[in-house]
Amino acid sequence: MNIVILLGAPGSGKGTVAGKLAADNANLKHVSSGDLLRGAIAAGTAAGNEAKGYMDKGNLVPDALIAQMIKDVVAESEQSEQSNNQTILLDGFPRNLAQAEILEKMGAPVKSAVLIDVPDEIIQDRIAGRRTCPKCKAGYHVKNLPPKVEGICDHCGTALTIRKDDNPETVKDRLVVYHRETEPLIQYYSGKGLLKKVDGMTGVDNVAAAFLAAM
């Protein structure tokens, strides 16, 4: 089993690309730290309840807690029948250098880190048009990746929603945080000889193909 880390600003298409690749290839598994966190909270697991306690107080969930959720997923994947051929597309973790060091100490088999490169000015327009299925987590965009029926998920027929953190002011704040905390990971993985870069401006199918070739 291998891990490929997805890098890129919020709205660069990491989740969309990883979801498409995983849907088209049984040996690829998309693991989103955000989905893991929301799923654990909804399921009422011990880790989910602990994370909810932090979030309800307006505090960040500790790196170690999120890392434990990732570790559990990796362990589960290693025990599966497909473990020898499976690659986890890790989306949303690590978000900073501290998390990257935790992942390394965990002994996770990181094969590469692929950066989907998109300019900030494009990011803001993209995020304004994002829509998400609250049930199956499929992602859409009103212009670039519209559903077959407006406002309805192609896969499960659920009404699509807009994430709370996709409003313009929040997006600007998220980009500031990205450049301050997450962008240093580009240099971190470059220094380890693991960084690959793809142009995120060429359309979903082309980006997915380039990502697959790079990883």
* pLDDT over 90 at 68, yes or no: no
Over range 5-26, report the average pLDDT.
Answer: 93
User: Is 131 among the residues known to form the active site?
Assistant: no
Region of 78 please: left (phi>0), alpha (psi -120 to 50) or beta: alpha
Which parts of 12-166 are beta strand (E)? 28-32, 87-91, 110-117, 130-132, 139-141
Among candidate residues 95, 111, 196, 197, the one labeled active-site is 95
Give CA 85 to chain center in angstroms. Answer: 21
Among candidate residues 14, 126, 131, 137, the one labeled active-site is 14
Query: Each residue of 98-141: pLDDT tens digit?
Result: 999 998 988 888 999 999 999 998 988 888 788 999 999 888 98
Highest-confidence range of 63-67, 96-100, 138-142, by mean pLDDT?
96-100
Q: Provide DSSP, 151-177.
A: TB-TTT-PBPB--GGGSHHHHHHHHHH
User: Is 180 among the residues known to form the active site?
Assistant: no
Least confident of 53-57, 82-86, 158-162: 82-86
User: Is 52 among the residues known to form the active site?
Assistant: no
Among candidate residues 20, 29, 130, 131, the one labeled active-site is 130
Among candidate residues 20, 29, 131, 174, the one labeled active-site is 174
